[in-house]
Amino acid sequence: MKRSIIGITGATGTIFGWRLMELLRSEGDTEIHLVMSQSAKLTLKMEHDVDPGRLNELAHEVHAPGNIGAAISSGSFFSEGMIVAPCSIKTMSNIASGNTGDLISRAADVILKERRKLVLAVRETPLHAGHLENMMKLTRLGTVIFPPVPAFYNRPKTLQDVVDQSCMRMLDQLGVHLESSPRWGEEGGVPAVGQVIEMDKS
């Protein structure tokens, strides 16, 4: 089995981390290591009114954000890579400056030093020069800066279509190729699995 690390921070869009884990589960060939920051738990509650425990169930291993002694904080623990989705400006800045006081930034720093794949779904807008400079610095270190910007050429009909398209492209970066959204130049695309976005909940 492959191993991937999913970090979820307190930027808006906690659904991205949630959906990534659902998609990895549907693929079935990846051991998922999850870290959610304290702010992510708050944002998740505000955005979806769900308990973080519901996301924990999708992971094979859940690491506390302050547990700097977790397996994923060591380079000797092998993984294919890490996606932080959504990634707050705070966490992106910590990673860019090597400030590794929490597990998400430590695990990300380890991924970079081991020359593995790091994908940051940075979610903020608009951006100032300091944000852009940090993105540039991280890009030079090999990070993939992946703002979850929606595409429309695939004609999304639901919010889930929008989320799935970004998640599919993020997973492509880890070498996990799913058909959760139509690809340009290809017919159809597999219907979405799971029902994490309850649009008509209200």
Ligand X SMILES: Cc1cc2nc3c(=O)[nH]c(=O)nc-3n(C[C@H](O)[C@H](O)[C@H](O)COP(=O)(O)O)c2cc1C
Query: Contact positions toward ligand X, by CB under 6 A?
Result: 9-12, 37, 39-40, 42-43, 46, 88-91, 123-124
- Of 30 and 91, which CB lies nearer to ligand X in the complex structure? 91
In the complex, what is the shortest distance from the CB of residue 183 to ligand X, in angstroms, rounded to a whole number? Answer: 27
- H/E run at residue 83: strand 81-87
Helix, strand, or coil (residue 68): coil
Q: Would you list the DSSP string of 19-61? A: HHHHHHHHH--EEEEEEE-HHHHHHHHHHH---HHHHHTT-SE
Question: Minimal distance in Å, beta carbon 116 to ligand X?
Answer: 21
Which residue, 23 or 92, has its beta carbon nearer to ligand X? 92
Phi–psi pair at 33, nearest 5 degrees: -110, 120
For ligand X, the closer of residues 84 and 176 by Cβ is 84
* Minimum CB distance to ligand X smaller for 47 or for 179: 47
Rounded to the nearest whole angstrom, what is the least distance from the CB of residue 146 to ligand X in the complex?
A: 14
With beta carbons less than 8 A apart as the criterion, state whether 182 and 188 touch. yes
Q: Which position's Cβ is nearest ligand X? A: 10
Shortest distance in whole angstroms from residue 9 CB to ligand X: 3
Distances from the Cα of 31 to the Cα of 65, 101, 102, 153, angstroms:
18, 25, 22, 32
